[in-house]
Structures are given as structure tokens and as C-alpha cells.
């Protein structure tokens, strides 16, 4: 696949808390083999002129934390904007768990977009918060920068990558998921649902080799 100057690599939430613990840091919300995306993303990043990172960035007492709700992780509750899955506390603002994975090598990344920083709304998507209405500003940034085609990587495939891909596509960007550069949380049915949702929006899933062998 030939890359264009108007392409961007979008690296979703490659943060310690989504990766297996190293030196006691991370693993709050374990994504199996989450850190295995890092070398693939590092190689991909060298092929892109434009790299954008996102960072899940929650305040204490965030609506998505099971502890806030006095419930167990992975239960789904109703909140004013609809159903919300509850998670272990993760990616607390300014914690080491919220830091980008230390082996991530994207020195030329142009933007680190933080999301999920409002206590009363979660944000899986890099474009719209979980009320599906509140914009993060990313679409405006991409439009203003003339970036048109997005290659998505990162964590987790079945949550933040999924919703970023669906919203990016709906907002008019050509959106492609680099499948081996992602890993899922893997709640019951979540990967099959994600595959179906991406297919229904005609969002292509490609292996990193399609770019790395160029
Ligand atoms: C994510 C659950 C909660 C993700 C973030 O990055 O996929 N998942 N917060
Ligand atoms: Zn989160």
C-alpha cells in the first residue's frame, strides 16, 4: 500500500495501564500482550510523516470506575448517556499507569490528544466522547491540517480502537485498522462485535506487513 502525505498514523492509548506490568507499573486494565504492539507501531511510525497519539486520562472518581459506582469491574450500568461498562481504576491523570509505554518510539508525533478527562463522561473514541455528541477536537485538527486518511493502531481493539475507527469513518476520514498493531480487552463477544461493526462500516483491516514491506 502506498502512503500519501495526507495520511496519519493514529496510535490509541499505548499506556502502561493497558500493558502487562513492568517494574510494578501498569496492568490496571490488562490487555493480553498489550505491549506486543509497541515494536510494530515503532516500525510503522517510521513510515508516516504524521503521527498522532491518544492518552486515556481520567480524574479520580471517574464515572467509568467500578469503585466510583460501588460495583464490580466489567458490569454494565445505565448512565445519562446510555450503557457504560465499568472498569478497574486506570489511567489516572499524571500517574505512571497513564504514561505512554516507555518503549514507544514516536519522537515525531505531532499531537498527544487526551480524552476521558471529564468526570461524568467516558471517552473511548478519539473523536467523540461516549455521549456520541461531545467532540474531542480531533476532527477539527485533522481537517485543518489537511490529513485525510487514518491508519489506526493501539489499545484496545474492541473499545477505543473500535469506536475511534467508527467515528473517524462517520466523520468523513478514510479509516483503516492495522490489525496486528492492536490487541483486544476481550470481554464476552466484544471482538466478534467489533469485527462486525467495522465490516458494516466497510472499514478495512490490514496487516502491518502491507505497509512495512513498502
Ligand atoms: C479503554 C476501557 C477503558 C481503551 C479505555 O483504551 O480501549 N478501554 N478505557
Ligand atoms: Zn479509560
Tens digit of pLDDT for each residue in 144-167?
Answer: 999 999 999 999 999 999 999 999
Does residue 28's CB lie within 6 angstroms of at least one atom of ligand 1? no
How confident is the model at residue 29, as a pLDDT?
85
**pLDDT tens per residue, range 172-214:** 999 999 999 999 999 999 999 999 999 999 999 999 999 999 7
Catalytically annotated residue among 115, 122, 158, 167: 115
Interface predicted TM-score (ipTM) of this complex, two decimals: 0.98
Q: How remote is the CA of residue 214 from the centroid of ligand 1, in Å? A: 31
**pLDDT tens per residue, range 60-74:** 999 999 999 999 999
Contact assessment for residue 154 and residue 179, using Cβ atoms and an 8 Å cutoff = no
Rounded-to-integer distance, Cα 104 and Cα 98, Å: 14
Is 91 in the active site? no
Pick the more confident residue, 101 or 29.
101
**pLDDT tens per residue, range 1-25:** 999 999 999 999 999 999 998 878 8
How confident is the model at residue 25, as a pLDDT?
80
Q: How remote is the CA of residue 168 from the centroid of ligand 2, in Å? A: 19
CA 96, 102, 108 angle in degrees (round to 5)?
120
Is 49 in the active site? no
- Tell me the torsion sign for CA atoms 98, 30, 210, 161: negative
Does pTM surpass 0.95? yes
Contact assessment for residue 169 and residue 142, using Cβ atoms and an 8 Å cutoff = no
The secondary structure of the chain, three-state, reads CCCCCCEEEEEECCEHHHCCCECCECCCCCCCCHHHHHHHHHHHHCCCCCEEEEEECECCCCCCEHHHHCCCCCCEEEECCEEEECECCCCECCCCCCCECCCCCCCCCCEEEEECCCCCCCCCCCCECCCCCCECCHHHHHHHHCCCEEEEEEECHHHHHHHHHHHHHHCCCEEEEEEEEEECCCCCCHHHHHHHHHHHCCCEEECCHHHHCC
Give yes or no for residue 26 having a pLDDT over 90: no
Which cell goes with 103?
518503549
Read off the pLDDT of each residue in 77-92 and give the average, rounded to a whole number.
Answer: 97
Read off the pLDDT of each residue in 12-41 and give the average, rounded to a whole number.
Answer: 90
**Choice from 13, 83, 122, 126 to test ligand 1 binding pocket (greatest atom count within 8 A of CB):** 13
Read off the pLDDT of each residue in 110-128 and give the average, rounded to a whole number.
Answer: 98
Which cell goes with 157?
481493539
Backbone angles phi, psi at 55, to 5 degrees: -140, 115
Backbone angles phi, psi at 40, to 5 degrees: -70, -45
Q: Binning pLDDT at 50, 70 and 90, where does residue 106 land?
A: very high
Which cell goes with 79?
448512565
Pick the more confident residue, 22 or 140.
140
How confident is the model at residue 30, as a pLDDT?
76
Catalytically annotated residue among 7, 17, 122, 160: 160
Point out which residues pair with 78 in neighbouring strands. 83
Give yes or no for residue 85 having a pLDDT over 80: yes
pLDDT averaged over the chain? Answer: 96
Amino acid at each position: 500500500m502506498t502512503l500519501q502525505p495526507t495520511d496519519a498514523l493514529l496510535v490509541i492509548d499505548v499506556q502502561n495501564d493497558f500493558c502487562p506490568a513492568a517494574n510494578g507499573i501498569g496492568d490496571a486494565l490488562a490487555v493480553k500482550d498489550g505491549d506486543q504492539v509497541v515494536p510494530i507501531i515503532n516500525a510503522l511510525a517510521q513510515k508516516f510523516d504524521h503521527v498522532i497519539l491518544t492518552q486515556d486520562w481520567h480524574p479520580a472518581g471517574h464515572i467509568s470506575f467500578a469503585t466510583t459506582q460501588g460495583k464490580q469491574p466489567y458490569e454494565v450500568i445505565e448512565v445519562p448517556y446510555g450503557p457504560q461498562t465499568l472498569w478497574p481504576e486506570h489511567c489516572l491523570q499524571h500517574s505512571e499507569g497513564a504514561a505512554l509505554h516507555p518503549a514507544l518510539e514516536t519522537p515525531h508525533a505531532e499531537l498527544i490528544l487526551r480524552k476521558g478527562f471529564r468526570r461524568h463522561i467516558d471517552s473511548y473514541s478519539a473523536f467523540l466522547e461516549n455521549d456520541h455528541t461531545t467532540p474531542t477536537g480531533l476532527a477539527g485538527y485533522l481537517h485543518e491540517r489537511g490529513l485525510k486518511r487514518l491508519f489506526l493502531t493501539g489499545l484496545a481493539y474492541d473499545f477505543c480502537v473500535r469506536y475511534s475507527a467508527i467515528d473517524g469513518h462517520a466523520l468523513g476520514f478514510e479509516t483503516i485498522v492495522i490489525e496486528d498493531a492492536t490487541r483486544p480487552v476481550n470481554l464476552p463477544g466484544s471482538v466478534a462485535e467489533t469485527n462486525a461493526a467495522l465490516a458494516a462500516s466497510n472499514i478495512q483491516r490490514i496487516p502491518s506487513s502491507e505497509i512495512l514491506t513498502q
